[in-house]
Chains A and B, each alone.
Chain A
Amino acid sequence: MTMQNKITGRVYVLGDDIDTDQIIPAAHLVYSLEDPEERKKYGEYALSGVPTAQAGLPEGNIPFVKNGEHESEYAIIIAAKNFGCGSSREHAPAALEIAGVEAVIAPTYARIFYRNAVDGGFLIPAESQQSLVPFFHTGDEAVLDLDAKTVTNKRTGESYPINDLGQVSNIIDAGGIFSYARKSGMLKETADA
């Protein structure tokens, strides 16, 4: 995916330290990410490891993906600190993308998840300046504006600042590390060239 400047969608709200086992439990890491049908399993099980009481705050008990489906109605995840901690599995940002997530907004990320999200071009890991968990309810409609560097809750009308993406914006803009390396001349243009 290449960068869109505005992402609009419903939000799914999560707490602190959402680790990769909660994003995609290890038992499901066996499916192919290339096979167009099999990869849908990752969407089906995305965020299935989150304890039900913490799934979809503030109320909880809201499934991220409805039973039997592989696409979520939520395009934006709002989370608290250290999102994506734990393992290096790239299946985590991939599962979120397959489920239809376009951006995560959290004050801090675990390093490998952040890298994977950027280098694989799966989704935009936007950094809020504080945890926005208290200001959003799961299901609220939000607008993430990357030019204005804000996220707006359409229910409350309030906007919150988002950090500049900094140096990684070049990779995000390009759509991942491979396209970035081709654009910058580090790699040859096409795969078999």
Chain B
Amino acid sequence: MSMTITEKILAAHAGLKHVSPGENIWIDADVLMTHDVCGPPTIGIFKKEFGEKAQVFDKNKVVIIPDHYIFTKDMHANRNIDILREFAREHNLPNYYDVGGERYKGVCHVALAEEGWCRPGDVLFGTDSHTCTAGAFGQFATGIGNTDAAFILGTGKLWVKVPETMQFIIDGKIPPHIMAKDIILQIIGDIGVDGASYRTMEFAGSGVEAMTMEDRMTLCNMVIEAGGKNGVVAADAKTEEFVKARTNAPYKIYQNDMDAKYHSTWYYKAEELTPMVAKPHSPDNKASVREVQTEKITRAYIGSCTGGKFSDFVAAAEILKGQQVAVDTFIVPATTEVDRLLRTTMIDGKSMMQVFEDAGAQVGKPSCAACLGGPADTFGRTHGEEICISTTNRNFPGRMGSKSSQVYLASPYTVAASALTGKITDPREFLG
């Protein structure tokens, strides 16, 4: 019986030869990831249900990456980090990336890839909806709640309903001004914020094959914005090179069977793609940049698991170098590794960090920062009627802090170009 990549990974982790969409199965987790927002309640449920002295299912498979509310005076947020630290100490967890030292990473989904936790054929559960980012590596990766995470913490297992797979084929040569973010905004706009509910979104075609790992991460990161359970890109030589450079752990590459069954298949011609935005207040509220290019903005934000990776800043720097921003512009590297690269990568004799600062942008410390609003003192958070254009992933009402603010989602190219003019701007105006 034929299967898709996702079905094969799930079958292998359930000890079954074959699974079909709609079946409820129990699967084994290879990695359980949590952070400072959902870790403390997960630990609370774990202790209540398994007992104060209970051991975790496998301390090598538990990964804790505080990243949400790190640089804040909020006492409750700071207490949550203390709870994680204490739990890691109590259980002698080797994979706790503590705040305030060399171990600190920043945004978990980017750090998971950097640290070799994203591996083809594995199952990754995380207490964050953007855990789906890791599908870029041919991994089954999905977001779960605290109760499910506590269950895994004690047992290493969770029930899942096998999802149907929707295929998105992007064929052809992607134009140089188009980023993965434009493509995923187009797709979400086409299928809607519930267009992939309970399903897998698989990305394939020559356009996807030509993408870097970071571009594939951007595609998979936002499948949750269409309601998807997971995103997936078939692992290839590029995936293997990335993974082998970061871990010696074994992995397994699965391919779709030739006659695998899909819920639906969507085709996109790369040459026809155009820079896109999602208008307030929904990620599926699509428009091409050309359609909204006179709209005024008062703020620009470049960061998050979606748009705070190194390549996102390389794109932004291409546009911002030697120019001056016209609106408040916030730069937040996803991780300490991205931050390091911004300080050490030179453009025309200046570090990228210097390029941003010289352009008048403010640079924050690696974390989730204002992507999801957060405590009042969060860097870049909205407090009033700001109109922000952002490389982040959600623009629901109040997402970046203030209920009266408005958020446009766009690619790093489009956000950088818009920062320079104070209105939504097609990046082709600044790209050679």
Contacts and interface: CB of A to CB of B under 8 A. Distances in A.
Is the A/B pair a real complex? yes
Interface of A: 17, 19, 21-22, 25-27, 29-34, 49-51, 81-82, 85-91, 108, 110-112, 115-116, 119-120, 167, 176-178, 181, 186-187, 191-192
Contact of A30 (B69, B127, B154): B69
B38 interface: yes
Contact of B155 (A32, A87, A115, A187): A187
Interface string B383-423: 00000000000101111010100000000000000000000
A178 B49 contact: yes
A19 B375 contact: no
Nearest to B229: A111
A3 B231 CA distance: 34
Given A116-B145, A178-B147, A86 B51 contact: no
Interface of B: 24, 37-38, 40-41, 44, 48-54, 68-69, 74, 76-77, 79-80, 126-129, 131, 143-148, 151, 154-155, 159, 193-194, 197-198, 224, 227, 229, 282, 372-376, 394, 396-399, 401, 403
Given A19-B396, A85-B227, A176-B147, A111 B197 contact: yes
Contacts of A186: 155
A89 B38 CA distance: 7
A82 B197 contact: yes
Contact of B145 (A19, A29, A112, A178): A112
A49 B129 contact: no
A70 B110 CA distance: 37
Contact of B375 (A27, A108, A187): A27
Nearest to A30: B76
Contacts of B79: 30
Given A88-B143, A192-B51, A34 B41 contact: yes
Contact of A115 (B145, B373, B396): B145
A85 B193 contact: yes
B108 to A, nearest CB: 12
A112 B131 CA distance: 12
A34 B44 contact: yes
A30 B74 contact: yes
Contact of A82 (B38, B159, B193, B372): B193
A115 B163 CA distance: 14
Contacts of A29: 37, 68
Nearest to B78: A30
A88 B38 CA distance: 9
A139 to B, nearest CB: 23
B286 to A, nearest CB: 15
Nearest to A118: B147
A167 B282 CA distance: 32
Contacts of A119: 145, 147-148, 151
Contacts of A112: 129, 143-145
